[in-house]
Amino acid sequence: MNFKPHDYQTYAIEYIENHPVSAVFLDMGLGKTSITLTAINDLLFDSFEVHRVLVIAPLRVARDTWKAEAEKWEHLHSLICSVAVGTEAERKAALMKPADIYIINRENVQWLVEESGIPFHFDMVVIDELSSFKNHNTKRFKAVLKIRPKVHRIVGLTGTPASNGLMDLWAEFRILDMGQRLGRFITRYRTDYFMPDQRNGQIIYSYKPLPFAEDAIYRKISDITISMKSTDHLKMPELVSSEYSVSLSDEERDHYEKLKRELVLSLGDGEITASNAASLSGKLSQMANGAIYDVAGNPISIHDRKLDALEDIIEAANGKPILVAYWFKHDLARISDRLKKLHIPFSRLDDADSIRRWNNGEIPVALIHPASAGHGLNLQSGGSTLVWFGLTWSLELYQQTVARLWRQGQTSETVVVQHILTKDTIDSRIMKALSQKEHTQTALINAVKADLTI
C-alpha cells in the first residue's frame, strides 16, 4: 500500500527527523506508528543518522502493531523488525537477530537493561505511550534512565501526556531530555511549580500547581514538543456525552453514608470495612454500582438501579450494538446475569475472536474492562454507543476506552457516550475529577499544538 501522508503527518515526520529529542503528543487515530516508522526509515537509510532502533510499547502493541504497520506500507518494506516478546529465550533470540528495529514490551525493559546480558547498542529509542513512564519510582523508569546517556535520539509518543495532572510530566521529560527543562530531581520540580494541597501535619498527600505553573512548564518544554488533536486534522464523528442518573432509596443511602462516615458496615451476614481513603473510595464506588465485597471477598447486592438503567438504554437502542464498560468483577457478573434473563446475546471482548465478532456486527452487547480496552484496539466497526456502567479515576483509561469507538474509521456520524451515575455518590466526584484532568491535559496540548502554517 502506498503511503500518502496528510500535511500534519509530513509535519510530524520532519519534526522527529529534525529534533534528536522529541515529545510527540498525537491524538488517537492520527497514525503515530506510521509517522514514526517513516521518520525512522529516513534516519536509517537516507541521512544514516541512526543504525539500531529500540521501540518500547505496551505488550499488545509491541506484539501486533509495529511490525504489521511496517509491512503494510510499501515505502517501509526495507525495514527489518524483530519483536522481542514472549519467553526469555524467545526475547533473547529476537534481540540477537540482525534487524533495524527491535520492539519490546515495556514490562521487559528492566530485564533488557539489567538482566538479559545483551549489550545496549541502540542509538535511537522510541517510547510508545510515554505516559506509562510517568511514575519515577517504577523499575521501567529507572531502567530507561540508566541507559539514556547512551541514546543519541529519543522519541516519546502519547495522546495523554498529563492524564493525572502536571505532576506526570516530570518523569516523562526527565527520560527525554535528562532533566534539562523540568529539572533533574522531582523534589525541585515540586518546589518550583507546586504547593502542598492535602496534608496531615508534615505528611503531604497531594500537590496543586502554583498560579504560574502551567504557562511556565509549557514554555519550558515547547521547543521539543508538538501536539495534534484528531479533531483538528481528521473528519471525526460528533461525540455526544450524556448522563443517566439513578437514585438510592433511603435505606440504601443510610448504608452508603454509614460506611462513608464510620468505615465499617454490617449487611446481613457480611461485614464491610475500609482501612484507608483509597479503600473507602473503592467501596463507595462498588455501592454506587449496586454491590460490594465483604471482608471475605463475597459480593453483597445493594441495589439494581444501574442494571435497570442499562436495560432501559439497551431497549431504547432498539437493536443497535452497545459497548458496556464495567469496572468491578461483580459488575460483570451482575450485568451478565441480567442480560441472560433478558435473553440478550452478549460477550466479553477479551480475545481476538470476540473482537472480530463485535466488529462484524455479530454481538448486540459487548462488555469490556477499561484496562483491556487500551492502545491499539480497534472497535469502531462494531458500534457507536458506549455505556459506562462503572467509572474509573484514570483519565488515560477513560479516554482510551472512548477512543475505541470515537476514532478514524467510525462510519457513524455520531458516537454516543452514556454514563450511568448514582446521584449524590462518589460517581459525581469521579466525573468531576475526569473533567478537571481533561482541562489540564487540553491546556497542555493546546499550548504546544503544532502550527502547520509555519
Class of domain 7-234+442-447: alpha beta
Structure-block grid coordinates of residue 60 = 499488545
* Tally of CB atoms within 10 A around 201: 5
Confidence of residue 454 (pLDDT cuts 50, 70, 90): very low
Confidence of residue 449 (pLDDT cuts 50, 70, 90): low
Average of per-residue pLDDT across 253-267:
88
Average of per-residue pLDDT across 302-324:
90
For residues 285 and 63, the model is more confident at 285
Domain with CATH 3.40.50.300 in the chain: 235-248+304-423
What's the confidence (pLDDT) of residue 374? 62
- How deeply is 145 buried, as exposed, middle or buried, from its count of CB atoms within 10 A (0-12, 13-18, 19+)? middle
CA-based nearest residue to 384, from 353, 352, 362, 416: 416
Domain with CATH 3.40.50.10810 in the chain: 7-234+442-447
In this predicted structure, the answer to whether residue 375 has a pLDDT above a threshold of 70 is no
Looking at 142-156, 209-223, 233-247, which range is the least confident one?
233-247
- How deeply is 88 buried, as exposed, middle or buried, from its count of CB atoms within 10 A (0-12, 13-18, 19+)? exposed
Average of per-residue pLDDT across 239-268:
88
Give CA angle at 383 (158, 418), nearest 5°. 75
89 and 116 in contact (C-beta within 8 Å)? no
Residue pointed to by grid coordinates 511549580: 193
CA–CA gap between residue 330 and residue 162 (Å, rounded): 31
In this predicted structure, the answer to whether residue 344 has a pLDDT above a threshold of 50 is yes
Average of per-residue pLDDT across 224-237:
80
How far is C-alpha 236 from the chain's CA centre? 20
CA end-to-end span of the chain: 30
Using a pLDDT cut of 90, give the percent of the chain over it.
Answer: 59
* Main-chain phi, psi angles of 209, to 5 degrees: -65, 145
Average of per-residue pLDDT across 164-189:
93
In this predicted structure, the answer to whether residue 391 has a pLDDT above a threshold of 80 is yes
What's the confidence (pLDDT) of residue 200? 80
Using a pLDDT cut of 70, give the percent of the chain over it.
Answer: 96
Q: Does domain 235-248+304-423 have CATH number 3.40.50.150?
A: no
Residue pointed to by grid coordinates 543519541: 152
What's the confidence (pLDDT) of residue 450? 67
CA–CA gap between residue 454 and residue 436 (Å, rounded): 32
Average of per-residue pLDDT across 332-340:
96
103 and 83 in contact (C-beta within 8 Å)? yes
